[in-house]
Amino acid sequence: MTLTFDDGSILLCENKLDAMETIGNEHTDFAPQLERYLNLPVNGVMYIRSSWKSPSQHVLTHPKYIKPYDKPHFLWRDFYPMLVEDPNPLVKELKLGFEKMGFMPPNPIIGDLSREAPRKQRENFSLFWLETSAAAINLGWNVNVGDVVERYFTTLTPSSLIKSTSIQLSPNVFSFA
């Protein structure tokens, strides 16, 4: 998406759900999408996704790259608060779409997470896993969902800090070894 402002500034917004960045081809330079966009005659480039997938260090440090001060890119749920109070019928429909897709910040009230708890309540908790899952993926771990509130982390190459190749995390099970 290209946004052109009254002052002539141009902002490119790369919008993804869960797809990876597209790699260039023989007609471009085989660079990933965001790196190619940063080389265009624009004032800025934003990256919006439904989950965390950090772009390259080159992108993160580029002066044209626009991101939140504490995160590698925007999430769709970051924009939900702007839709909440807007009375415009089109914005109301967009808000419903965000809700249907789950692009909302998690409710800070967690409550019961047992299997008997309402699924919606448990799905809300699963939104809190986004940052942990993204960090694990960036460190080379595979992340899978167990029960709605559980996560399974696996790797083929344990580190000096974590000797295990498999970790299960559940807010419902507490054990100490």
For 118-173, the pLDDT digits (tens) are 888 888 888 888 878 877 877 778 888 888 888 888 887 777 777 778 888 888 77
Whether 169 contacts 150, CB under 8 Å: yes
pLDDT tens per residue, range 53-67:
888 889 999 999 999
Residue 29 is given by DSSP the state T
Give the Cα separation of 146 and 160 in Å (integer): 26
Tokens 């902002």 belong to 11
Task: Say what the pLDDT of residue 90 is.
Answer: 96
pTM: 0.69
Q: Would you place residue 96 in the very low, low, confident or very high pLDDT band (cuts 50, 70, 90)?
A: very high
Q: E strands of 5-68, at which residues?
A: 10-15, 44-49, 65-66
Mean pLDDT of 82-102: 93
Task: Say what the pLDDT of residue 176 is.
Answer: 46
Whether 32 contacts 56, CB under 8 Å: yes
Whether 11 contacts 66, CB under 8 Å: yes
pLDDT tens per residue, range 20-62:
666 756 666 767 889 999 999 999 999 999 887 888 889 999 9
Whether 95 contacts 89, CB under 8 Å: no
